[in-house]
């Protein structure tokens, strides 16, 4: 009996020892992603839920990988992808996978801006997009080559830290006009600077008759029309007058609109040209910082200016009230893009609405891949380009860059 007990104890010790050697804690790989109905160009968030993992390897199924814990990823092409996550620790590894379907999107994500920007301007000369100014920038001036999807630094603007500025291109040259010096709250400026892409150089021209920020500028018959805008912050004046710059003579003239409707006092509006007329939409009329906790809504109002008649008229309001939006024209349709519902911007939007000046009606279009406050917008070959934009605060600037094909959106409806 004693011998049997001895054998039993020995076997027990061996079994216990064996169990300890095999008592490994292996990782358990697990994850989810959002959104589940993403399109090409959308940003997808991957959330790691693995247990007992020290390191992670993600394979997104399109040739891209990551070792981050909770990565973001953008698929440039539609299709079906298998996402694999392998979790590791000192005792071993575990792998799990999920299928992901990327639908067709009318939006594409392009090369990021070298400098994050919003409250800036963008214009096109010779198939290149030029961006200037904006919050968080000094005097960086950059150009995007559409044919190569690349950015290049250009000669810096002579002045620094200008936001809420305006500008446009006339006869192959770019004109950057007015704005607000954000640095140390210096104030509003009347400065006009001319950039020549052929020589990559700047010249200072005759200043505006008035200092303005939050205005808009458009080429009309070889001249530049400057409309709207305000003076100082808190605002001491909204401008009703229209100032016209003639690049040929480097001179300004001032127009006072004729009788009837005039431009509503506001800033943060979107503006663009269609059918040789200037359309102004949205914005806000708050003159100073509102009391803490007070939400001041944006506007829906739309007004149009006819340079030939020097008159304003009201049009159908936007479906969505907003400020700090972008607007651009493609095939004589106007697109109101992004913005915020209230000031200060808290609930920024990805909404895109299309306006038909002929029928004076609005419809909804495919939303932005993300909500953007104060992006810039320009158009080339019927494609809309949206460089930059912001988020929750005035100085929350992004370097994201998207293009949008309205024809694609029309075909998908």
* Planar angle of CA 180, 184, 187, nearest 5 degrees: 30
Q: 76 and 162: one domain?
A: no
- Residue 111's closest CA among 403, 409, 410? 403
User: If pLDDT is split at 50, 70 and 90, which confidence band does 292 have?
Assistant: confident
Residue 128 counted as domain residue = yes
Q: Report whether pLDDT(173) > 90.
A: yes
Residue 291 has pLDDT above 90, yes or no: no
pLDDT given for residue 67 in this prediction: 96
Q: What is the mean pLDDT of residues 359-372?
A: 93
pLDDT band of 64, cuts 50, 70, 90: very high
Position 376 in a domain:
yes
Least confident of 102-106, 131-135, 144-148, 308-312: 102-106
Domain holding 326: CATH number? 2.120.10.80
344 within a domain of the structure (yes/no): yes
State residue 227's pLDDT score: 96
404 within 8 A of 366, measured Cβ to Cβ: yes
Does residue 189 sit in the same domain as residue 227?
yes
Q: Which residue has the higher pLDDT, 153 or 38?
A: 153
Mark which of 102, 117, 134 sits at the end of a domain. 102
Distance in angstroms (rounded) separating the CA atoms of residues 298 and 290: 13
Same domain, 92 and 131: no
**What Å distances lie between residue 7 and 16, 17, 19, 56, CA to CA?**
14, 15, 18, 46
Rounded to an integer, the average pLDDT of 239-247 is 96
Q: What is the CATH number of the domain that holds 96?
A: 2.60.40.10
Distances in Å between the alpha carbon of 280 and those of 189, 287, 319?
22, 19, 14
pLDDT mean over 164-192:
91
- 246 and 379 fall within a common domain: yes
Strands (E), 268-374: 270-274, 277-281, 296-297, 302-306, 311-315, 326-330, 333-337, 342-343, 352-356, 361-365
- 314 falls within a domain: yes
Whether 272 shows a pLDDT value over 60: the answer reads: yes
Task: Please indicate, yes or no, if residue 7 is contained in any of the structural domains.
Answer: no
User: Is the same domain home to 58 and 140?
Assistant: no
Whether the predicted pLDDT of 86 surpasses 90: yes
Are the beta carbons of 194 and 171 closer than 8 angstroms? no
Same-domain check for residues 218 and 313: yes
The pLDDT of residue 35 is 84
Q: Partners of 93 in the beta sheet? A: 88
Most confident of 69-73, 103-107, 219-223: 219-223
The stretch 289-297 carries a mean pLDDT of 86
**Domain annotation covers residue 12:** no
Compute the distance between CA of residue 261 and CA of residue 309 in angstroms, rounded to an integer.
13
Cα 312 from Cα 259, distance rounded (Å): 9
pLDDT on residue 192 = 98
Mean pLDDT, residues 142-155 taken together: 97
If asked whether residues 68 and 211 sit together in one domain, one would say: no
Are both 198 and 68 inside the same structural domain?
no
CA dihedral of 154, 159, 160, 162, whole degrees rounded to 10: -100
- Whole-angstrom Cα distance, residue 122 to residue 131? 4
**Are residue 178 and residue 54 in the same domain, yes or no?**
no
Domain endpoint, select from 59, 82, 102: 102
Residue 18 counted as domain residue: no
Q: Are residues 270 and 314 in the same domain?
A: yes
**241 shares a domain with 131:** yes
The count of structural domains within the chain is 2
133 in a structural domain: yes
Sequence-ordered list of residues with C-beta below 8 angstroms from that of 148, at least 6 positions apart, any chain: none
Residues in the chain: 413
- What's the rounded mean pLDDT across residues 281-306? 93
> By residue range, what is the domain housing residue 153?
107-412
pLDDT in the model for residue 5: 41
Does the bond joining 234 to the residue before it have cis omega, within 30 degrees of 0? yes
pTM for the structure as a whole: 0.81
Domain boundary among 74, 102, 130: 102
CA distance 245 to 38: 46
Determine whether 146 is exposed, middle or buried from the number of CB atoms within 10 Å of its CB (0-12, 13-18, 19+).
Answer: middle
The verdict on 271 and 343 lying in the same domain is: yes
- Of the two residues 38 and 85, the one the predictor is more confident about is 85
């Amino acid at each position: 009996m004693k011998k049997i007990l001895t054998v039993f104890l020995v076997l027990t010790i061996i079994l216990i020892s064996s169990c300890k050697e095999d008592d490994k804690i292996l990782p358990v790989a697990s994850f989810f992603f959002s959104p589940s109905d993403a399109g090409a160009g959308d940003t997808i968030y991957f959330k790691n839920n693995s247990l007992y993992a020290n390191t992670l390897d993600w394979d997104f199924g399109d040739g891209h990988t990551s070792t981050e814990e909770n990565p973001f990823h953008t698929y440039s092409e539609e299709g079906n992808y298998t996402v694999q996550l392998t979790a590791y620790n000192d005792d071993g590894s575990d792998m799990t996978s999920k299928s992901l379907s990327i639908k067709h999107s009318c939006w594409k994500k392009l090369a990021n801006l070298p400098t994050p920007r919003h409250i800036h301007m963008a214009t096109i000369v010779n198939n290149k997009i030029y961006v200037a100014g904006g919050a968080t920038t000094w005097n960086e001036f950059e150009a995007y080559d559409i044919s190569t999807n690349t950015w290049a630094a250009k000669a810096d603007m002579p002045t620094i830290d200008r936001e809420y500025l305006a500008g446009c291109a006339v006869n192959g040259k770019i004109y950057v006009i007015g704005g607000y010096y954000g640095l140390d709250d210096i104030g509003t400026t009347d400065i006009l600077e001319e950039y020549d892409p052929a020589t990559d150089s700047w010249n200072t021209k005759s200043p505006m008759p008035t200092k303005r920020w939050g205005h808009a500028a458009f080429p009309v018959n070889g001249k530049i029309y400057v409309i709207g805008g305000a003076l100082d912050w808190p605002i001491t004046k909204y401008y009703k007058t229209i100032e016209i710059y003639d690049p040929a003579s480097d001179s300004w003239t001032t127009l006072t609109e004729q009788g009837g409707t005039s431009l509503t006092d506001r800033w943060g509006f979107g503006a663009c040209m269609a059918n040789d007329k200037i359309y102004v939409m949205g914005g806000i009329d708050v003159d100073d910082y509102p009391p803490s906790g007070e939400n001041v809504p944006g506007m829906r109002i739309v007004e149009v200016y006819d340079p030939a008649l020097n008159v304003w008229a009201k049009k159908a309001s936007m479906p969505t009230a907003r400020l700090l939006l972008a607007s651009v024209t493609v095939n004589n349709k106007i697109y109101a893009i992004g913005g915020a519902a209230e000031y200060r911007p808290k609930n920024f939007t990805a909404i895109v609405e299309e306006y038909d000046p002929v029928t004076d009606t609005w419809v909804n279009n495919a939303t932005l891949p993300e909500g953007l406050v104060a992006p810039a917008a320009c158009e080339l070959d019927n494609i809309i380009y949206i460089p930059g934009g912001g988020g929750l605060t005035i100085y929350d600037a992004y370097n994201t860059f998207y293009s949008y094909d309205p024809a694609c959106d029309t075909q998908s409806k």
